Structures are given as structure tokens and as C-alpha cells.
């Protein structure tokens, strides 16, 4: 059993599979969650080798607490969130999202399909560590059901939210790279239904992730970039391991930053809705604010974490939200990052505007950004962070925002330094009016972490 009393990171519990995260751990944690839910819980997972093991372990834990379990299979995280919001009382998703193959994790959602609040997480931890989960008597043990229709229903619902005819007419040439993750069961079928000329890479589900690492960062997408160029495709699309994020490659084979796709879709959503509330995190581009002010929108910024954005969207009745990493949230459909809706919406924009992806991106406000990360053990993060805040307060007279980590706002840009909630690292993002300045700012941020970590 892990010694730490906080099990949850930014979204759920994520650890090395079968080491800290064992079937016994997963089963007890699921029973603790089931103790609070006392209803019907949907379970689904990604393509990792350890996913079936954990699906069985959490099933046992949930049944033991008296919950019924609906197994909806191997499918993207947003498809589980969709199912829970529409049919069930809760859900557990077995996934480590973009992390390497040896990891796995559990994402817990509430009855709206939103990642659990801190309050609920603390209650689960209390049951896990200090109390006992409810253990139902033999005649109150839950039952197991299967529902194999969610994948198809989820795809059909995505199609209902876009102009299918316009996309069909454009007959877009698309290269898709699911990285052997959960997108394999949805994305190729969605794109065919949208009438695309489709070439697939890594679209066979495989927990060894033989084609590429599950994280859709530029260095992992060389094959996709080359394929887009070689095939003269209109766009390349990549998903992370649990297919809640979409990353794009333009028609020249260039990697498009998540901020840019966010901005493109934001513009479209604001136009369609004649304005509205956009929710994002403190780590997102100034471009999001610029577009909002041009299109009758208002931006609300939360701490980093897609579930915080999702919750704020629900509370504020926002129309759209997202993060700088390509995770976009369409709250009318799913209260969480949704890769399939993102794909459909982007193709709709390209089809209707009759412009290429690079042309559309070039019309967006231009800012230069940089991201770096540096290792730092989890048990040093709090101390390092507070020393950085003190140092920055002492040595600069810039505005500080401590919604999450510390964001330092200068006249010509900003930099944010924050500890990751899921990995033993600090992340540093910056944005400025030149690439040089952005690079300088992240290097400075990284140097501060170096200075204070042991």
C-alpha cells in the first residue's frame, strides 16, 4: 500500500502498473468509490496490456460495495464520459492517457461524466486509508452487465453535431495516427462516415504501442508528418492513448500547436453561438483572449486540469473550453476533452471555410511559445514551488498569478512554472512576441526549479 495519503493527481490515480498500482489497490479504491456512488457504474478502458487486469479488479471492488457494473469495453475516455452522463450514476476509466506503456491509471467521474471534485476524492481517500469500504452482504452483491453499443452511439452523436454534408463534399484527404490507443475503435470509423479519403497509421489496438509512444508530441509524430507530405494529404490527425486529445499536422507536414487548434475552434464556436463564455486554463495563449474579444466572447481561466475546465463550463454555462495541449471540451456533448468532436469540428471548419489548415492557422493572432520540463521528485514539489514564489516576489516587480503554480506576467509575454500533477516533473510554459524571448523565459523558469531542488 502506498504511504502517501493523497492518491489523486490532476485527473484520477496514475502509477506504474502492477508495482504501486496493483489489482488489490485498484479493487479497494473502486470499492471506496462504490461506497459513495451506490448505483450503476460504467467501466471502460484504453488499450494497455494491464487494462483488462484492472477492469476485472475494479469490477470486483464495485460489486463488493453493492454497485452494479456495466462493462462498456475498450474505448476512448470521452466515450465513457458520454455514456455516464446519459445513462449511469458514475464511471471508472482505466487509462494512463499519454503516459508510457508501463503506466496505467484510474479516472473516476461523477454522474455528469466530469472528473471528480477534490471533495469527493478526499472522501474516497478517507475510506481507503482510515475507514472500510462498504462490503455488501451476499444477497446485495451487484450484477455485471455489458453494453457494446456505446462506441457506435458516440460516433453517431458526434456526427449529429457537425455539417456532415459539407464535410462529405470537401472529400478531405486525411492521415490518421491513433498511436495504437483507444482511438483505434472510433476515429477510423468516424472519418469514413465523414466521407474522408483515409490513410491510417498505428490504428491497430496494441498495448505495446509498437509504432510510437502514446504522447502525441512532435517528436513522436515524424511518421505522420512524412505521410501527410508523401500523400499530399489535407491534414494529419493524432490522438493520445485514451483519445481525448487531437493534435493536427497541416498540409505541409507542419506540427500545429494545440493552442492554434483551440483558437480555430473557439472562433467557430463563438461565431455559431453569437458569443458566449469560453473556459481555459492559466497556461493557454493570449490568442484565446484576443479571439474572444473580437467575437463577443468572455474568457474564464482556471488552474491546469481538464476536469476543472469542464466543471467551470458546466457551472458558468460556457459554450466551449480547452487546454493548450489540444484537449478541447464541447460541454453540450461531453464534460471532458473530446478528440472525436475536435476532429469533426476541425474538418467542418476546413470544409466550410474552403481554406487549407495552414491558411486558417495563419489568420490567427501570432504569439510565440515554448515549453520545457525538468525532473523533480514529488516530495520536493511543494517546497520548490514556495521558494520559487518567494524568489520571484522578491526579485521582480511583474504581476503574479498563483491560480496554479506561478504565472509571471510581463509587458511582452508571460511564463508559468508549475509542478505536474501526474509525473515527477515541473513544467514551464511561456509565450511572447518573439521566439527568442519565449525561449529565454522558459530557460529562466527551469533555472529557478534547478536552483531550489535538491
Instruction: State the residues that interact with Mg ion by CB under 5 A.
Output: 97, 240, 242, 244
Question: What order of strands is seen across the sheet that includes strand 425-432?
Answer: 368-375, 425-432, 413-419, 406-410, 399-401
Catalytic residue among 27, 64, 97, 369: 97
Q: Give the residue nearest to Mg ion (CB).
A: 97
Whole-number minimum distance, CB 245 to Mg ion, in Å?
A: 5
Whole-number minimum distance, CB 86 to Mg ion, in Å?
A: 21
In terms of CB distance, is 341 or 406 closer to Mg ion? 341
Place of cell 511564463: 415
**231 alpha-carbon distance from chain centroid:** 29
Cell output for 237: 490527425
CB 212 within 8 A of CB 177: yes
**Cα 344 from Cα 350, distance rounded (Å):** 10
In terms of CB distance, is 240 or 324 closer to Mg ion? 240
Whole-number minimum distance, CB 33 to Mg ion, in Å?
A: 20
**Cα 197 from Cα 52, distance rounded (Å):** 33
97 is catalytic: yes
Helix locations, 296-338, DSSP H: 306-316
In terms of CB distance, is 240 or 266 closer to Mg ion? 240
Going by their DSSP bridges, the two strands 173-177 and 235-239 should be labelled as parallel
Helix locations, 139-196, DSSP H: 150-160, 164-170, 187-193
Whole-number minimum distance, CB 240 to Mg ion, in Å?
A: 4
In terms of CB distance, is 297 or 305 closer to Mg ion? 305
Q: Which of 178, 47, 236 is nearest to 188 (CA)?
A: 178
In terms of CB distance, is 142 or 322 closer to Mg ion? 322
Whole-number minimum distance, CB 418 to Mg ion, in Å?
A: 18
* DSSP-based three-state secondary structure for 343: helix
In terms of CB distance, is 244 or 259 closer to Mg ion? 244
Whole-number minimum distance, CB 442 to Mg ion, in Å?
A: 23
Cell output for 140: 446485495
CB 214 within 8 A of CB 370: no
**Cα 247 from Cα 153, distance rounded (Å):** 24
Q: Active-site residue numbers?
A: 97
Amino acid at each position: 500500500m502506498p504511504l502517501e495519503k493523497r492518491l489523486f493527481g490532476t485527473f484520477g490515480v496514475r502509477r506504474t502498473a502492477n508495482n504501486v498500482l496493483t489489482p488489490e489497490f485498484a479493487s479497494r479504491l473502486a470499492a471506496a468509490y462504490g461506497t459513495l456512488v451506490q448505483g450503476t457504474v460504467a467501466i471502460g478502458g484504453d488499450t494497455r496490456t494491464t487494462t483488462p487486469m484492472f477492469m476485472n479488479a475494479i469490477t470486483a471492488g464495485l460489486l463488493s460495495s453493492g454497485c452494479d457494473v456495466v462493462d462498456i469495453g475498450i474505448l476512448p475516455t470521452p466515450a465513457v464520459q458520454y455514456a455516464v452522463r446519459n445513462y449511469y450514476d458514475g464511471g471508472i476509466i482505466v487509462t494512463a492517457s499519454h503516459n508510457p506503456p508501463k503506466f496505467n491509471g484510474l479516472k473516476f467521474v461523477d454522474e455528469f461524466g466530469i472528473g471528480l471534485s477534490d471533495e469527493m476524492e478526499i472522501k474516497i481517500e478517507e475510506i481507503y486509508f482510515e475507514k472500510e469500504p462498504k462490503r455488501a452482504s451476499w444477497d446485495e452483491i451487484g450484477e455485471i452487465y455489458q453494453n457494446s453499443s456505446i462506441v457506435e452511439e458516440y460516433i453517431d452523436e458526434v456526427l449529429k453535431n457537425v455539417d456532415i454534408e459539407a464535410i462529405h463534399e470537401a472529400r478531405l484527404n486525411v492521415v490518421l495516427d491513433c498511436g495504437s490507443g483507444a482511438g483505434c475503435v472510433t476515429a477510423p470509423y468516424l472519418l469514413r462516415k465523414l466521407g474522408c479519403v483515409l490513410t491510417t497509421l498505428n490504428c491497430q489496438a496494441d498495448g505495446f504501442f509498437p509504432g510510437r509512444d502514446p504522447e502525441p508530441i512532435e517528436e513522436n509524430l515524424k511518421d505522420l508528418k512524412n505521410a501527410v507530405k508523401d500523400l499530399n494529404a489535407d491534414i494529419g490527425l493524432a490522438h493520445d492513448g485514451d483519445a481525448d486529445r487531437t493534435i493536427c499536422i497541416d498540409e505541409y507536414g507542419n506540427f500545429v500547436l494545440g493552442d492554434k487548434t483551440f483558437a480555430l475552434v473557439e472562433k467557430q464556436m463563438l461565431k455559431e453561438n453569437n458569443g458566449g463564455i469560453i473556459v481555459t486554463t492559466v497556461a493557454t495563449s493570449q490568442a484565446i483572449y484576443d479571439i474572444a474579444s473580437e467575437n463577443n466572447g468572455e474568457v474564464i481561466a482556471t488552474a491546469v486540469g481538464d476536469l476543472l475546465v469542464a466543471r467551470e463550463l458546466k457551472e458558468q454555462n460556457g459554450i466551449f473550453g480547452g487546454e493548450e495541449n489540444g484537449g478541447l471540451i464541447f460541454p453540450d456533448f461531453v464534460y471532458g476533452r473530446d478528440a472525436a468532436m475536435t476532429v469533426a469540428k476541425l474538418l467542418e471548419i476546413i470544409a466550410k471555410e474552403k481554406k487549407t489548415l495552414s491558411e486558417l492557422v495563419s489568420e490567427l493572432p501570432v504569439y510565440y511559445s515554448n515549453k520545457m520540463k525538468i525532473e523533480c521528485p514529488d516530495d520536493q514539489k511543494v517546497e520548490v514551488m514556495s521558494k520559487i514564489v518567494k524568489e520571484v516576489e522578491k526579485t521582480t516587480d511583474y504581476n503574479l498569478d498563483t491560480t496554479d503554480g506561478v504565472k509571471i506576467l510581463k509587458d511582452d509575454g508571460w511564463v508559468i512554472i508549475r509542478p505536474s500533477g501526474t509525473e515527477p516533473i515541473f513544467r514551464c510554459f511561456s509565450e511572447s512576441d518573439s521566439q527568442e524571448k519565449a525561449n529565454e523565459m522558459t530557460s529562466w523558469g527551469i533555472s529557478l526549479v534547478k536552483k531550489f531542488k535538491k
